[in-house]
Amino acid sequence: MIRRRPWLVLLPAAAVAALALAGQVRAESASTLTSLARQIGEVRTSGPVFVGVTPLAGAPLAEPERTALEAKLVRVLGTAVAAARARGEAPMTESTARARARALGLNLMLIEPTLSGGQLIVDVDVIEWERSFWARARKPSGTVVSHASVGAAADAEIRRYLPRPKGLLSKESRFRAPAHDAIGLACGEVSEQVGMELLVIGRHQLFLGRLVTAPTGGRGSLSIRKSALWTTQSPLSPHPLRAPLAGAWLQPGRVLVGSSDRADLVLMDEQLGTPTFAAPALPIAGDRCHAFTATGLAREAKPCGPLTGEHHQAKTAALEVPSHDSVAHLVEPDERGVAVNYELVSSKAELRVTIDSPIEQRRIVTLPPGGAQVALADLDGDGVVEAITTASTDGATDTVRVHALRKEGPVLVASRDVGSVRALAVCPFDGENPQRLAVLLTDEIRIFE
């Protein structure tokens, strides 16, 4: 691999202050890179430093993508240090960074990024040089006086540089559903030891486990790690919906589940135990819920909770108000690292996506009418979010449709005819697999890539 010799930029104090302020402004976007840059900026130094960023280790990338991502890492992470008096303008080896720092008479802040297992991990070392001749002779490589290691999940801003799948919905795997009465599905990492799991929400039972492919090439199955009866978690709702709705939000150590069949929103641990309760609602993010109404979901999202050890006691009947049939929510950084909010709602009148960016005018995208199942994701990692919806074709068969939400308007980029869709879920990027679409049918689960 041929690399250009890194350029060197000397920064006056005023430029350092301006870069620090710019870093604070960018950090408000809360993307992975800006979050890591903010943490790197908090690493203490005893004086001015030279900042060197090493080439990215870990994930194999094509050369154009590697070059572009490394340039972004140098630009964002390398300018996060307020004490920087000089920095490398391109990735450099550790030995080159040490030599440049010593030549300039500056201490060294060495930033070493690694992309592995779906995480961007950054190791930071502050290296000081011995002052006396004999001390420098004994320790020519200097002394590490401070070390920090920070990391975060690779978001869309980073994933767009990874190898992309050949075509949306082009690869399909089938698995037997653990129950024929399932009405909800969620995918995520609940236990760090186990990794990515599926939660299948039935009307009588919950199932948590990993999908296992069949050795013969037929339908695989859900290897159930934990299950729980609804009767041990929450009583029946006094006001269930005629067409039941259910969903969950999975985080390490947390399983938040809501079902219109049940009287509570329930938070459980990774073993589906120690439940706590709140007013019934459908969770669509960690702290973003839509209450159940008499006919569907409340239009306004509210915080999930408060959670207590007591079951919720409904004092009045569900509200008869205009409602949504289904809602999906996603926060994804754009190509500038700015966090953009997407909300996809389905109702009898319309199928609509609202896109809110802090630096652009709100966009409202109307999609062709469809079914009640919706999801949002960047399935192919190209930095463009897709709206995933269903549409009934003959009453027994649904079509899964994927529209790319491009600036010039929505574009249908993939569609597949499947059976009757009960629920959709997106499995997050896990470092080995791109985001995948999980589709719950009457008797099986299909995974599309």
C-alpha distances in Å from residue 403, one per residue of 67, 171, 379, 390, 410: 30, 18, 11, 11, 6
End-of-domain residue from the set 159, 189, 210? 159
334 and 185 assigned to the same domain: yes
167 domain residue, yes or no = no
Instruction: Return all residues near 405 (Cβ < 8 A) that are at least 6 apart.
Output: 342, 353, 355, 365, 384, 385, 386, 387
Section 259-278 average pLDDT = 96
pTM above 0.85, yes or no: no
Scored b (16 or more CB within 10 A) or e, 152-183 reads: bbbbbbbbbbbeebeebbeeebbbebbbeebb
End-of-domain residue from the set 109, 138, 159? 159
Residues counted in the chain? 449
217 domain residue, yes or no = yes
Residue 433: the pLDDT is 66
Q: What pLDDT digit, counting tens, does each position of 243-257 carry?
A: 999 999 999 999 999
Distance CA 218, CA 342 (A): 37
Section 51-71 average pLDDT = 91
Instruction: Return all residues near 288 (Cβ < 8 A) that are at least 6 apart.
Output: 301, 302, 303, 304, 329
Residue 335: the pLDDT is 77
Distance CA 380, CA 437 (A): 11
Domain count, the chain: 2
Predicted confidence band of residue 5 (pLDDT cuts 50, 70, 90): very low
Per-residue pLDDT at 10 exceeds 60: no
Q: What pLDDT digit, counting tens, does each position of 308-353 carry?
A: 999 988 766 566 777 889 999 999 888 787 889 999 999 887 899 9
Predicted confidence band of residue 371 (pLDDT cuts 50, 70, 90): confident
154 and 227 assigned to the same domain: no
Locate all alpha helices (DSSP H) within 151-259, ordered by sequence.
156-159
Give the highest mean pLDDT range of 122-136, 293-307, 318-332: 293-307
| Domain boundaries, position 116 | 8-159
2 domain residue, yes or no = no
Section 391-416 average pLDDT = 88
Predicted confidence band of residue 356 (pLDDT cuts 50, 70, 90): very high
181 and 127 assigned to the same domain: no
229 and 302 assigned to the same domain: yes
Per-residue pLDDT at 139 exceeds 80: no
189 and 149 assigned to the same domain: no
CA atoms within 13 A on the CB side of 237: 28
Q: What is the SS3 string spanning 390-428?
A: EEECCCCCEEEEEEEEECCEEEEEEEEEECCCCEEEEEC
78 and 180 assigned to the same domain: no
Section 427-439 average pLDDT = 81
195 and 330 assigned to the same domain: yes
Residue 431: the pLDDT is 65
End-of-domain residue from the set 159, 186, 213? 159
263 and 383 assigned to the same domain: yes
288 and 400 assigned to the same domain: yes
165 domain residue, yes or no = no
441 domain residue, yes or no = yes
Per-residue pLDDT at 304 exceeds 50: yes
184 domain residue, yes or no = yes
Predicted confidence band of residue 137 (pLDDT cuts 50, 70, 90): low
Predicted confidence band of residue 14 (pLDDT cuts 50, 70, 90): very low
Lowest mean pLDDT of 82-91, 114-123, 161-170, 264-273, name the range. Answer: 161-170
Q: What pLDDT digit, counting tens, does each position of 22-50 carry?
A: 333 333 345 889 899 999 999 989 889 99
Per-residue pLDDT at 292 exceeds 90: yes
Residue 21: the pLDDT is 30
239 and 151 assigned to the same domain: no
Looking at residue 71, which CATH number applies to its domain? Answer: 3.40.50
- Residue written as token pair 């009866």: 229
436 domain residue, yes or no = yes
Residue 319: the pLDDT is 65
- The more confidently predicted of residues 15 and 213 is 213
318 and 426 assigned to the same domain: yes
150 and 210 assigned to the same domain: no
Looking at residue 388, which CATH number applies to its domain? Answer: 2.130.10
Residue 150 burial class via C-beta count within 10 angstroms: exposed 0-12, middle 13-18, buried 19 and up: middle
- Residue written as token pair 């000089």: 86
1 domain residue, yes or no = no
Nearest CA to 258 among 349, 176, 209, 326? Answer: 326
Scored b (16 or more CB within 10 A) or e, 216-253 reads: eeebbbbeebbebebeebbeebebbbeebbbbbbbeee
- The more confidently predicted of residues 16 and 45 is 45
